[in-house]
Amino acid sequence: MEKIFIPVNIALLTISDTRTLETDTSGKVLRERVLAADHLVADQKIVRDDMYQIRAAVSQWIADADVQAIITTGGTGLTGRDGTPEAVSILLDKEITGFGELFRQISYQDIRTSTIQSRAIGGVANGTFIFCLPGSSGACKTAWDDILKDQLDMRHRPCNFVELMPRLLEK
């Protein structure tokens, strides 16, 4: 039996000390792709690369029953200001270990060994899927086009994240 498409409410967070809504190319890439795939942008924000601002924004969306997925961009590198994985991982109920691994494997085709500098992560918190991507628009395109577009589509086979959503809070 053919599955029907179910739009997902996705919140987008850019982590940057320098970007504005006008200059946020990665946020624009994600927004365009989310909308082109017929999903909904539940909210979109930019916060400074500060662990507590990141946690506050992500926590607000985790607590919001209308947000089913969160995609962040930025702060996944190795510099002293890059703290997105540390800010978000403590909020996760479960980590999707394969997300970061697959992202780096796919990225290797384009950026070769530089992919090792990415600390992209994925996980679930309070029934909300969370994906933390690097800040480059290229990384956002790769993650969406090669992983998230399919996994956030109920029709994707053999399995996808959307069909798991009603079961995420089972005990």
Tens of pLDDT, residues 5-51: 999 999 999 999 999 889 999 999 999 999 999 999 999 999 999 99
Q: How far, in Å, CA of 159 to CA of 141, rounded?
A: 22
DSSP state of 155: T
Q: Do 7 and 39 touch, CB atoms closer than 8 A?
A: yes
Strand partners, 133: 73
In percent, the amount of the chain with pLDDT more than 90 equals 87
Q: Which fold has domain 9-162?
A: Molybdenum Cofactor Biosythetic Enzyme; Chain A (3.40.980)
Six-digit token pair at 134? 């690097």
Six-digit token pair at 21? 């809504």
Mean pLDDT confidence for 117-125: 96
